[in-house]
Amino acid sequence: MIRKAKTENGWVAGIPAADPRITAFKGVPFAAPPVGENRWRAPQPAADWEGVRECYTFAPISVQDVPGLDPDNLYSREWNVDPDIPMSEDCLYLNIWTPAKSADEKLPVLVWFFGGGLVVGNTAEMEFDGERIARRGVIVVSVNYRLNVFGFLCHPQLLKEQPDAPTNFGHLDQSYGVRWVKRNIAAFGGDPDNITIGGQSAGGISVCAHFASPQNEGLFQKGIIMSGMACDVYHTFRFIQSLDQALETGKRFFDFLGVKTLEEARALDAFYLRDQLQKFKGMWNTVIDGRFLTEEYDACLITGRRLPGPIMVGCTSNETGPAVPAANMDEFRAFITRTFGDAAAEEYMAIVGEDFNRAMEMTKINNVEVAARAMKQSEEAVGAEYPLYYYMFDPEMPGWDNAGTFHSSDLWFFFETLAKCWRPFVGKHYDLARQMCNYWANFIRSGDPNGLDADGTPMPEWKPMTGSEENAVRFGDKVVPYVDDQNQLLHFLVRKWREQFN
């Protein structure tokens, strides 16, 4: 087994995982600490070290609200269970799980971005243990990155000081981590030309952004987008800012802090800054900065101008788009008319009918499915036909809280880490997790999720989506086809979402 490896900065030593055939390297520096003058700068090269660096434990998580303090919070029960987890602005480290016995094996690589709204989250969350995927011949790398104001501040002084990287530092950290992997993963038995980037929630949104970034050409070959691709067809939510919006937020934050210069702001204590965020109303997320992103990532994905490669996309069955903001049918009709115009509104109303409660229920369309279908249809229209595999996660989820298939619940299954969860999973859940992890590993390896189960029998076939055929799978108590082709409203919204970018 590879227990030591030589990176560009020096030797690192890993530790046997629970399965000793897997070696885990935790807390490997991939960039210089983003502190002092490096706060709010693009990531800089890590320093060299002498001797062998012991990479046995996770590095501190990015500065954020202390996790696990609210016992009523679902995620405090689920995995944010340790309020004492170390936290530091010095956070640019990654973790590697490798099954390789030698450096010449050229194994496929998954680079994982965690979720959390780009404001919280970390690589040490227990559902992200890469060991089970590594047992399938895949190297797993999880990359930590800057969050909230540390990762996404934009300010006129930053734009003047560093016009090539004025914001999106969290995304630049992610990209820098992938570049580190491309340069170094061969030492861990990996193939630098077979890299899949993946993420869930804000991590999935990050994957969308990276597929839309002109700076990333040739950096990766495939993508996994879990609960991160969605469409704002009703214009009720946005998870991206214009440069002007971000600059205005940055100016307001400096005024709120009572600082006038970058030097003053960089001198403030990191935890003081974090605590001030709780009192300040502002967005900290992806910015169309003209450098990392030159336009909305939605526009790139929906028009076939994204970076090439197969994509796997899906969500949980409890995830639906926001309902129409209306209290009665008059408000409902008025909102639809404002959103789509008179003619399209009549078509919409003919689909949902005049019963208010029924109409409101019908509007709970899965925005991820709408976005995936629209993207596939648009790609076929321009001849950019990369395989797209869509899934719906919908098993029975045990637990006294009756949480159902909540946002993020599929992570336990794809990483096959159910044994770490408090929920009383039984045999059918473990069978499903084994198959889901198999599909993942196959996709990471070849861009096709299909293959054999542990007993050598073929798993249920998962066909790629086409513009006219959904070909999705439903991960229920078993793996079965998922068909939703009779939903007229879904097809209407797919068409309207495509029209926004054409």
- Return the pLDDT at 500: 86
Domain that holds residue 411: 4-323+364-499
Q: How confident is the model at residue 501 (pLDDT cuts 50, 70, 90)?
A: confident
The per-residue pLDDT for range 95-104, each reduced to its tens digit, is 999 999 999 9
- Return the pLDDT at 236: 80
348 within domain boundaries = no
Distances (CA, A) of 107 to 6, 42, 473: 17, 30, 27
- Return the pLDDT at 323: 77
Average pLDDT value for residue range 110-128: 97
- Average pLDDT, whole number, for the chain? 95
- Return the pLDDT at 85: 97
CB-count exposure of residue 390 (10 Å: 0-12, 13-18, 19+): buried
- Return the pLDDT at 457: 95
257 within domain boundaries = yes
| Range with the poorest average pLDDT among 180-189, 230-239, 272-281, 466-475 | 230-239
Average pLDDT value for residue range 354-372: 90
223 within domain boundaries = yes
- Give the rounded percent of residues in the chain with a pLDDT score beyond 70: 99
Average pLDDT value for residue range 380-402: 93
Q: How confident is the model at residue 486 (pLDDT cuts 50, 70, 90)?
A: low
- Return the pLDDT at 485: 59
Rounded Cα distance between 288 and 151, Å, is 14
Distances (CA, A) of 39 to 89, 151, 265: 9, 9, 9
The per-residue pLDDT for range 32-60, each reduced to its tens digit, is 999 999 999 999 999 999 999 999 999 99
Average pLDDT value for residue range 411-439: 98
Average pLDDT value for residue range 250-276: 97
471 within domain boundaries = yes
Rounded Cα distance between 408 and 203, Å, is 11
- Return the pLDDT at 185: 98
- Return the pLDDT at 19: 96
Helix, strand, coil share (%) of the chain residues, nearest 5 = 35, 15, 45
411 within domain boundaries = yes
Average pLDDT value for residue range 326-337: 95
- Return the pLDDT at 321: 73
**363 pLDDT higher than 90:** no
CATH number of domain containing 105: 3.40.50.1820
77 within domain boundaries = yes
β-strands 388-393, 311-316 pairing: parallel
Domain count of the fold of the chain: 1
CB atoms within 10 A of CB 160: 10
β-strands 479-482, 190-200 pairing: unpaired
333 within domain boundaries = no
DSSP state of 416: T
Rounded Cα distance between 314 and 226, Å, is 5
347 within domain boundaries = no
Average pLDDT value for residue range 313-328: 88
Q: How confident is the model at residue 109 (pLDDT cuts 50, 70, 90)?
A: very high
- Return the pLDDT at 295: 93
- Where is 359: in which H helix or E strand? helix 356-362
**341 pLDDT higher than 90:** yes
